[in-house]
Structure 1
Amino acid sequence: MTRKRAKGSRGPGRQAGRVRLLLAAFMLVTVPGQIQAAQKSTLIVNARIVDGSGSPARAASVRVEGDTIKAVGELTPRAGEQVIDAAGHLLSPGFIDTHSHHDGGLFEAPDALPVISQGITTIIVGQDGGSELPLSPLFERMRKHPVAVNIGSYIGHNSVRAAVLGEDYKRKATAAEIEHMRTLVREGMEAGAIGLSTGLEYDPGIYSSKEEVLILAKEAARFGGRYISHMRSEDRFIWDALDEIVEIGRVTGMPVQVSHMKLAMTDLWGQADRFLGVMNRARAAGVDITGDVYPYEYWQSTLTVMFPDRDFTNRKAAEFALQQIAKPEGLLLSSFSPDPSLVGKTVADVAKQRGIDPTDALMQLIAESQAPGAEESVIGTSMDSKDVAKLIAWPYSNISSDGQLAGRHPRGTGAFPRVLRLYVRDQPLLTLEQAIHKMTGAAAAHMGMADRGLIRPGMKADLVLFDPDRIADRATSEDPNALSVGVQRVWVNGEQVFEDSRPTGVRSGRTILRSAPVKTKAAP
């Protein structure tokens, strides 16, 4: 509480008055009863509560004071309290996107409409090994210019490796270089990073040794950090890649998470049980391993990611990619700076347009994308829906989007409502309570967040009110930015950021810094 001194305010009487004012201000800050009296209070009544724990839905009211949930149950409105009638709709914790790329352009679009319209209140960025470096300026910018959602971040291995090795990255790092990387990881952890993320299928991380990654993971573990990974392979070498992340969890003792779990090769389809068997055996042996999943059979990445040996002129490698990873008609160009007119076309379309076979078309596109400054990305259809469903149903998986604010993949705008529409209503795989647990309580636990993800007194008031019979995704490959429907209100840290299909203009998001470890639990 700051007050300007009036001109000429001198003398013992006025000095005593100032002392009384300062004392009153001090008491306002330190006396709990007076803090509560001064805080804004909101009561949400006639709600059907799904609290994020997996417990059955129940009728109750929720009182929010300031940024915190103060009470849940049969509550009577207070004088002057804002009362919101939920009209029997469902109130849940705000959804937590544990693998997000929505930070790109977020400070230019701080209302984060594609995010909050899904009911997402927290995004975790710094994924696939790519993060801000250093991290502290991101956190400081968030403090000075908040957006409508909370943001937490990992420190990215690829970003760290690129900073140390520069253009000379196609090799193993020296001991001195690894020590330099370890210093950068330590600085990220000291700034509040959740842990270390890797993108071992991407440059420059693909060239790193297992020893390098383990040393850096150990550094993050020293701070109580976590490890999350886009593994070295999601297709040809998936079993070795899965063994690597299990070993990191076993050696370090830190929680480890497989990013966007998938079996992205036709020969792997139907082997979700084998994949989860590895995870279950690791958990039984004491490794705290979890995973996140998005509800689509197609991914978005680069054309080059399909070539683990980076042999882009190898025709056999290109043929294998088109036979086993994704068919030519299932590879849709989502960006292509050498020729933007190709965006929205498949490799099959390009082959037909150029009068060549699909293998040559793929190799040509990659060659053109290797020009300095050129960029490309592709949406590849290469998963089986039954495998996706099994991975989502696993008790230790949570939902993520892997999405962007304005990307070509519909996951950025529709992932969370899609789960509620597809896997709760249309093709019942999960109960409503199980699905919400995967989006809230489980997600919070997997990220080590102790104060979010549940509707309980003392938790931060990140909340979403929605119609469970109406919530649905509308985004498609043809219209990837179509907003979801069915979400009615969203609160972030007790402030309403979304109402009646539009942002309120309130930007109450905060930086999520690493907190004490939280033991992962399955849904009841």
Structure 2
Amino acid sequence: MMALPLHVFSRSAMLRGSGLAAAAFLLLGAPAGASTLITGAMVYDGSGAPARQESVRVENDRIVAIGKLRPHKGETVIEAKGLALAPGFIDSHSHHDRGDYADRAMPQLLAEGVTTIVVGQDGESSGAFADISKQFTTRPAAVNVAAYTGHGYLRSQVMGQNYKRVATVSEIQAMQSLLDLDMKAGSLGLSTGLEYDPGIYSNHDEVVALAQTAADDGGRYISHMRSEDTAFDAALDELLDIGAKTGIPVQISHLKLGIVDRWGDAKAVLAKLDAARARGIKVTADVYPYEYWQSTLTVLFPKRDFTDLSAARFALTHLTTPEGMRLGVYAPAPSLVGHTIAEISVQRHEEPAATYLWLIQTAEAWRSAHPGIEPVEAVIGTAMAPEDVADFIAWPYSNLCSDGMIVSRHPRGAGAFAKMLRVYVREQHRLTLPEAIRKMTSLAAENVGLKGRGLIRPGYKADLVLFDPDQIADRATVEAPGALAVGVSDVMVNGVLVYRKAQTTGNYPGEFLKREGQ
């Protein structure tokens, strides 16, 4: 093999002129079978330990050595003095598969160092695990993908359109059989979206039975609980009871207090979770670093009565505000996208609650007239207190997630991980840099059951991100939700360079991952 040139850059040289773009020359794509030595970086290994200046050697798709290493003959050497080298970030709750990876390069993710996404969330699955795994393997993306099996998917397969009721024993057994097939194919476990159709119509026994199937196969349970607002305590009790009865690890999806009346209660919630862990319940959580969510207009109506003016008024008073509800998708009238319920109500000369109901009723009618076309509507709702979000993020057992998607009005799809480092490390000092990285790497891997990723250790897959901890920052906003983060110079996935000079490389080495033990 012809020897590759040695590239040496100092940090001061890299930050001159074009800034971090120049730093992207650090990681050079090496041919399959080649060896790369990264030297001079401050290595944050993902464990939460302080950084150490040492070298990391990558061969093929794995990390093979760490320490004071000398270059091998013909080896590509990367001098990264002054930059941070960390395991690639893991997004444990995402919807980035929507659109079937239309842009396989996933630039919004790579620009903030994300190398693995976990899908199948909120009870949603796009198909049987074996099928979606095969589809991705046939046409991979730049990042790795792992998946849960969605409870809503199982319900739709077994119950069809007749889902607005409790499942029968035979239907639960049929769902268990489908789940068992997915588990044996490598699914991480069971996900539920108990605030959404069709999961909202299930009872506790149904969910426990399915969680037991996942537990028997060595899987996990992750849940968008039945309520994140008025019935939060009962919803949390249900999740903890599932963990207690089945022994399965239970993860709260995007932990939040989405009700004005409960703002400031985060510490009490965390005390309850700590007490549950002390009793042996393996409860964890993921959190995204924003005070606003994105979901359906209907999510704040647990009784699904879209003619109830008092329910609409309650939602716009206690759960959010008319100014805090901004349309992200609206198929019946795309011109309304980006406008708030408050603004639309002024146009319609009516109170915001009436406008809220009109928007839902119009969307439901449009959906009936255009079957199979989704999404029909989505809304961004401001509903959380910043102090609660910070407390939830700082909990030792919570990892970061985005709950985002590539094409969305919500900036979390392109900014969550960079915002974590900008806000909670540099600005608020709620977390040290090593701890923040742990929450985005090894803890995320542990909480979802991924093996061999999330740490810089010999034998682990070479998912790596090189970035400037003083410069990394999110740029995505509601007005510009796809704006790329800055501060990440280079990203490797399975030993292959996928991000260079702040540009995607056109390499698609992502793998479809199976849970630990498969």
- Asked whether the two chains share a fold, i.e. TM above 0.5, the reply is yes
Give the 3-state SS of the residue equivalent to 1:406 in structure 2.
coil
Query: Which residue does the alignment assign to 2:54?
Result: 60
Shift of 1:141: 1.6
Question: Which 10-residue stretch deviates more, 92-101 or 144-153?
Answer: 144-153
2:354 is paired with a residue whose SS is helix
Question: Which residue number in structure 1 is paired with residue 407 of structure 2?
Answer: 406
Q: Secondary structure at the match of 1:511?
A: coil
5+ long unaligned stretches in structure 1: 1-36, 518-524
Contact 2:499 2:505 in 1 (8 A): yes
Provide Cα deviations, 1:437-464, integer angstroms capped at 9, x if missing partner.
0000100111112200000111110000
Given the alignment, which residue of 89, 100, 104 partners 2:94?
A: 100
User: Does structure 1 residue 457 correspond to structure 2 residue 458?
Assistant: yes
The alignment status of 1:50 with 2:44, answered yes or no, reads yes
What is the alpha-carbon distance in structure 2 between the residues aligned to residue 468 and residue 174 of structure 1? 54
- Give the conservation status (yes or no) of the 8 Å contact 1:106–1:405: no
Superimposed CA distance per residue, residues 236-291 of structure 1 (whole angstroms, 9 cap, x where no aligned partner): 10000001111111111111100000000000101001211121111000111100
Aligned to 2:177: 183
Aligned to 2:66: 72
Shift of 1:219: 0.6
**Which residue of structure 1 lines up, in the alignment, with residue 139 of structure 2?**
145
Structure with higher Rg: it is 1
Task: Give the corresponding residue for 1:494.
Answer: 495
Preserved contact between residue 94 and residue 121 of structure 1 (Cα < 8 Å): yes
**Counterpart residue identity of residue 408, structure 1:** R
Q: Any residues of structure 2 matched to 1:303-314 within 5 Å, and which?
A: 303-314=297-308
Alignment check: 8 A CA contact 2:411 2:480 kept: yes
Determine the C-alpha separation between the residues in 2 that align with 1:284 and 1:244: 17
Partner of 2:348: 354
In the other structure, the counterpart of 1:5 is: none
Q: Matched residues in 2 for 1:416 and 1:162: separation?
A: 33
Instruction: Tell me the secondary structure at the aligned position of residue 338 of structure 1.
Output: coil
How far 1:132 moved relative to its partner?
Answer: 2.1
Q: Determine the structure 2 residue equivalent to 1:39.
A: 33
Structure 2 equivalent of residue 89 of structure 1: 83
* Structure 2 unmatched ranges of 5 or more: 1-30
Does 1:385 pair with 2:412? no
**Matching residue within 248, 259, 263 for 1:265:** 259
Preserved contact between residue 106 and residue 112 of structure 1 (Cα < 8 Å): no
The amino acid that maps onto 2:293 is: W
Counterparts of 2:217 and 2:170, CA distance in 1: 22
The equivalent residue for 2:200 is: 206
Residues 121-166 of structure 1, C-alpha deviations (whole Å, 9 max, x = no match): 0000000000122121111122222110000000000111112111
Instruction: Give SS of 2:116's match.
Output: strand
Q: What secondary structure, in the 3-state scheme, does the structure 2 residue paired with 1:364 have?
A: helix
Give 2:155's aligned residue: 161
Q: Deviations over 1:305-339 (max 9, x none)?
A: 00001111111111100001110000000001110
Q: Using the aligned pairs only, state the percent identity.
A: 53
SS at match of 2:477: coil
CA distance in 2, matches of 1:85, 1:415: 28
Tell me by how many angstroms 1:516 deviates.
3.1
Say which of 300, 304, 310 aligns to 1:316: 310
- State the TM-score, normalized to the length of structure 1: 0.91
SS in 2 for 1:335: strand
Cα distance in 2 for partners of 1:273, 1:80 equals: 55
RMSD: 1.2
Contact 1:403 1:412 in 2 (8 A): yes
Counterpart residue identity of residue 499, structure 1: R
SS of match in other structure, 1:419: helix
- Which aligned runs of 4 or more in structure 1 are off by greater than 3 angstroms? none
Say whether the 8 Å CA contact 1:465–1:489 is kept in structure 2: yes
Paired residues of 1:299 and 1:381 also in contact (CA < 8 A): yes
CA distance in 1, matches of 2:111, 2:189: 28
Match of 1:447 in 2: 448
SS at match of 1:366: helix
Matches within 5 A, 1:111-130: 111-130=105-124
Contact 2:167 2:206 in 1 (8 A): yes
Contact 1:249/1:288, CA 8 A, preserved across alignment: yes
Look up the match of 2:7.
none
Q: What code does the residue aligned with 1:454 have?
A: L
Letter aligned with residue 308 of structure 2: N
Alpha-carbon offset, residue 105 of structure 1:
2.2
Task: Give the aligned partner of residue 14 of structure 1.
Answer: none
| Alpha-carbon distance in structure 1 between the residues aligned to 2:336 and 2:430 | 38
Match of 1:292 among 270, 286, 293: 286
Contact 2:301–2:311 under 8 Å retained in 1: yes
Q: Per-residue displacement from partner, 1:80-139 (whole Å, max 9, x unpaired)?
A: 001111122000000000001001124321111111111000000000000122121111
Counterpart residue number, 1:195: 189
How far is the alpha carbon of 1:424 from its aligned partner? Answer: 0.5
Task: State the one-letter code of the partner of 1:220.
Answer: A
Deviation at 1:56, TM superposition (A): 0.4
1:301 aligned onto 2:302: no
CA deviation after TM superposition for structure 1 residue 57, in Å? 0.8
Matched, 1:423 2:424: yes
Q: Aligned residue for 1:469?
A: 470
- For 1:327-338, list aligned pairs within 5 A: 327-338=321-332
The 3-state SS of whatever aligns with 1:370 is: helix
Tell me, in whole angstroms, the C-alpha distance in 2 between the residues paired with 1:482 and 1:512.
28
TM-score, scaled relative to structure 2: 0.92
CA distance in 2, matches of 1:108, 1:38: 26
Contact 2:451 2:515 in 1 (8 A): no
CA contact (8 A) 1:126 1:156 kept: yes
Equivalent residue letter for 1:81:
E
Amino acid of the residue matched to residue 320 of structure 1?
F
Which amino acid is the alignment partner of residue 121 of structure 1? T
Q: Is the 8 A contact 1:106 1:147 kept in 2?
A: no
Indicate yes or no: 2:102 matched with 1:133.
no
1:205-238 Cα offsets, whole Å, 9 max, x none, are 0000000000001011111000000000000100
Q: Determine if the alignment matches structure 1 residue 368 to structure 2 residue 362.
A: yes
Please state how far the C-alpha of 1:40 moved relative to its aligned partner. 1.3
What is the CA–CA distance in structure 1 between the aligned matches of 2:249 and 2:61, rounded to whole Å? Answer: 29
Q: Which amino acid is the alignment partner of residue 56 of structure 2?
A: V
Give distance in 1, aligned partners of 2:97 and 2:501.
24
Of 390-399 and 128-137, more deviation after overlay is shown by: 128-137
Residue type at the aligned position of 1:125: V
How far apart in 2 are the matches of 1:339 and 1:47? 51
What letter matches 1:343 in structure 2?
V
Structure 2 counterpart SS, 1:377: strand
Offset at residue 38 of structure 1 (A)? 8.5
Q: Is the 8 A contact 1:196 1:228 kept in 2?
A: yes
Out of 217, 224, 228, the position equivalent to 2:218 is 224
Tell whether the 8 Å contact from 1:98 to 1:292 is kept in structure 2 after alignment. yes
